[in-house]
Amino acid sequence: MNDNSTRDRIRALVRDVLDKALPDEANAGASSGDTASRFIDTAPKSPNTTTEGATTRDESSKTVITEDDVRDLERGAVLRIAEGARLTPLAADIVSEKGIEIVRRVPRRGSQASKMIAVGADHGGFKMKEELKSLLNELGHQVHDFGTNSEEAVDYPDFAYAVANSVAEGASDVGIMIDGAGVGSAMTANKVPGVRAAACYSVKLARNSREHNDANVLTLGSGTITTSEMREIVRAWLSTEISEERHRKRVEKIKAVERQYLR
């Protein structure tokens, strides 16, 4: 049996293990003896700053990083993963061989309940943004305000990009952008690699965008919702997380489509 055949069998085995066992193992954590033998609990140490100009990929929504997540990364790339994420042995080998830098995303203040939130608005959303900032402070979140700072006419793409870029670079956990309708800002934000922006007009949509699509930027339309509705939508959006593996797999397909245009 040649090396290629052996490698293919190993890859198939890893995929089979993930498909059949991952949900239970993710809940069981480190208490399972089998888990310790299948996964690498630590990633290669990385410096405090990333390599300038290196390609960055965000896989922080995953609990396990597989060979498929890293094999097409270029040498010296940066891979962002969750604090407690584990690497399969094959993934760890590729990371080591290519000198890929691992950056673990640690929740701020030690709790996922507290987030650094990038906010922005155009002139139409300025007043609602100020109300939003008060709400976020009430909820105990940190706020990075990218403007605008008045009702003087401005262009929404400038501020939507600033918010989205902050999220993509990892400087903010999530972002919220407000313009007149929320649609144009969502279009702009979604041009930034790594961003999944959702324009939401109801609590139901807000929860769905997080639970099913792992949205990391919320866009709102000041002309389509009231301040009271904004508060309800934002509370629901921030308190909902993606959880089921079937949803995570679909989000991975969204990321795969994006990667085709980054090569």
On the question of pLDDT at 174 being above 80, the answer is yes
On the question of pLDDT at 23 being above 60, the answer is no
pLDDT tens per residue across span 117-161: 999 999 999 999 999 999 999 999 999 999 999 999 999 999 999
Q: For residues 152 and 148, what is the distance between their CA atoms, to the nearest angstrom?
A: 9
Instruction: Check residue 71 and give its pLDDT.
Output: 87
Q: Are residues 217 and 157 in the same domain?
A: yes
pTM score, two decimals? Answer: 0.61
Q: Looking at 106, 125, 147, which one is the last position of a domain?
A: 106
Q: Are residues 90 and 149 in the same domain?
A: no
Mean pLDDT is lowest, of 3-17, 164-178, 203-217, for 3-17
Q: Check which CATH number belongs to the domain holding 197 and give it.
A: 3.40.1400.10
* 72 assigned to some structural domain: yes
- Region 81-92: mean pLDDT is 80
On the question of pLDDT at 169 being above 60, the answer is yes
Domain limits at 219? 111-239
Q: Looking at 106, 125, 157, which one is the last position of a domain?
A: 106
Q: Respond yes or no: is residue 212 known to be catalytic.
A: yes
Q: Are residues 119 and 231 in the same domain?
A: yes
Cis peptide before 226 (omega within 30 of 0): no
* 257 assigned to some structural domain: no
What is the sign of the dihedral through the CA atoms of 207, 212, 218 and 224?
negative
* 248 assigned to some structural domain: no
For residue 103 the two structure tokens come to: 């950056």
Q: For residues 208 and 237, what is the distance between their CA atoms, to the nearest angstrom?
A: 9
Catalytic residue chosen out of the listed positions 123, 141, 212, 247: 212
Q: Are residues 54 and 123 in the same domain?
A: no
Please give the tally of structural domains in the chain.
2
Q: For residues 107 and 154, what is the distance between their CA atoms, to the nearest angstrom?
A: 34
Q: Are residues 80 and 119 in the same domain?
A: no
